[in-house]
Amino acid sequence: MDDDVMNQQKYASSAMVLVKHLVDMEKKDAGERGHYNPEVGHELPEVPLHRARQIMTRVEFIQEFDHMNIFTIDSKARVRADSVPMQNAFREVCGEPGFARKLKETLVRISDIESLGRTKELTIKVNMLKTSPQISVYSKS
């Protein structure tokens, strides 16, 4: 990926990870109550800001998502969907066939690409023809 595409993927995937977490929280709460009824009370699932940053793994993006009205950070530093319609959209996106698999594949691809940028390859060549082996090390970025 080009650098700008990679940055866009990091940005989008960090939001999707938090979206999935909020939808999963909602499903868990509905499972504990035995049902989900969006008509009765619109209490949106929320997480503390520090936890949202851990979930997203990209702490620098949460403020931008708040300014874009995707998530809301309230006065008690709790993060949730910006509105009930936004939570409905989260639910719909997460309900798409293959969403979890695609998100996981994207996160793995981003991790692999980032890993390549941090990895140095060492090639070790041993010259066995001499009486004492001599090792040459070549570094390639």
Average the pLDDT over 107-134 and give the result: 68
17 neighbors 94 (Cβ within 8 angstroms): no
Q: What is the pTM of this model?
A: 0.72
Q: How far apart are CA 131 and CA 42, in angstroms?
A: 79
**What pLDDT, in 10s, does the model give residues 33-59?**
555 555 555 689 999 999 999 999 878
On the CB side of 51, CA atoms within 13 Å amount to 9
CA nearest neighbour of 65 among 52, 51, 84: 52
E strand or H helix at 81: strand 78-81
CB atoms within 10 A of CB 122: 8
Domain count, the chain: 1
Residue 82 burial by Cβ neighbours in a 10 Å radius (0-12, 13-18, 19+): middle
Is a pLDDT exceeding 60 seen at residue 104?
yes
Domain with 65, as residue range(s), is 3-140
* More confident position, 60 or 130: 60
